[in-house]
Amino acid sequence: MSNPMFPSDVAEQILDEGPATADGDIPQEIAGRSLSQLAWARLRRDRVAVFSMIFLFLVFLVSLFAPLVVRVLGIEDPNTTFDADAISDALGGLPSSDLPGWLGSAGISADHWLGVEPLTGRDVLGMLIYGSRISLFIAVTATILTTVIGVIIGTVSGYLGGKVDTFFGRTMDLILAFPLLIMLLSLSGPLTQRLEALGLQGNQARIAYLILVFAIFGWPYLARIVRGQVIGLREREFVESAVAMGASSRRIIFRELVPNLWAPILVYVTITLPGYIAAEAALSFLGVGVLPPEMTWGKMLADSVRYSNVDPLYLFIPGLALFLVVLAFNLLGDSVRDALDPRAGRV
């Protein structure tokens, strides 16, 4: 049983940094450690979290510098190069190589490490690298918009209360009542045309549509979490002190409340971002996504279904990439949650 006169956070600091000095003074590095520093120290000790962060960092790095990575690896640019020699007219445009079994049916060779796309002969590894750019761009941008909108509305609603809270609360209920998948499919055509009329062309309009829809229908979930946290924080002493000193509502919201919400926001982001990656893949699979020759992992999965019997690796490779990225984000999210609330995993 914990001693109420000896907080567990102080105990953990002493265990991490060592006991007090002989004269009874606490070392400066112990006394100066904040909750964020303690959480980061716990996260660094978690091997799963470290591995997930390294893996995701490499994925983002490869995605950001896709053209350079393709050139360094000696891979043919899938946007411009079509290897007709890697596919067989006798097999109806399917890949072929001298390797046996699935490896041969996928067209894997020294020039194409993960095989080629049926009919076109485009390098699958190059498609995977370039496809990650759009998938991650949509997920990251939609997550940023969702977070900004949700935090602002949730904080304002929770702090001001009254009619403002009622208005935003009913708005959240209205948005959450819409069947998201049906709305995404039904609104794709007209809203994409509207975006094209504003100057966006082709896939730019489709990408913007996915980002906007994800953000519009995603922010109420975070806003409700933030609102609940703010309702508890607005009664704390530091908020009452700011009010007594004559601070404006804007200053209290953005200088006092929002900085104290980073823990639930960070956990929510690590959960939402992989959800948007999977959602983009699902929508591309259903036809609400980018158009050829641009590619995403979801588009690759959609195109690979028709060849799943004769070229199963073409289905397996983008599916495995999507699975690993989403898994890494979920594991990182669990680790972040445990680092921010270490008591959750204690018995």
Q: What whole-number distance in Å separates Cα of residue 318 and Cα of residue 301?
A: 6
pLDDT of 14 reads 45
pLDDT mean over 179-202: 82
Domains annotated on the chain, with CATH: 129-320 (1.10.3720.10)
β-bridge pairing 87-88 and 94-95: antiparallel
pLDDT digits (tens, 9 = 90+) for 238-260: 888 888 888 888 888 888 888 88
In the three-class reduction of DSSP (H, G, I as helix; E, B as strand; rest coil), residue 34 is classed as coil
Tell me the C-alpha to C-alpha distance, in Å, between residue 204 and each of 126, 191, 217, 329.
21, 12, 20, 26
At 177, the pLDDT band (50, 70, 90 cuts) reads: confident
- Token pair 């602002």 in the structure block, residue: 152
pLDDT of 154 reads 92
Q: Name the helix (H) or strand (E) containing 288.
A: none
What one-character DSSP code corresponds to residue 110? S
At 32, the pLDDT band (50, 70, 90 cuts) reads: low
At 105, the pLDDT band (50, 70, 90 cuts) reads: low
Residue 109 clears pLDDT 90, i.e. is over it: no
Within its chain, how far is the Cα of 163 from the centroid? 34
Does this model's pTM top 0.85? My answer is no
In the three-class reduction of DSSP (H, G, I as helix; E, B as strand; rest coil), residue 19 is classed as coil
Full DSSP string of 205-247: HHHHHHHHHHHHHHHHHHHHHHHHHHHHHTTSHHHHHHHHTT-
pLDDT of 57 reads 93
Contact 86, 109 (CB under 8 A): yes
pLDDT digits (tens, 9 = 90+) for 294-312: 888 888 888 888 887 877 8
Give strand ranges (E) for the chain: 87-88, 94-95
Residue 31 clears pLDDT 60, i.e. is over it: no
Residue 58 clears pLDDT 90, i.e. is over it: yes
**157 C-beta neighbours (distance < 10 Å), count:** 24
Backbone angles phi, psi at 78, to 5 degrees: -70, -15
pLDDT of 61 reads 93
At 96, the pLDDT band (50, 70, 90 cuts) reads: confident
The pair of three-digit structure tokens given for residue 160, joined into one six-digit string: 């001001």
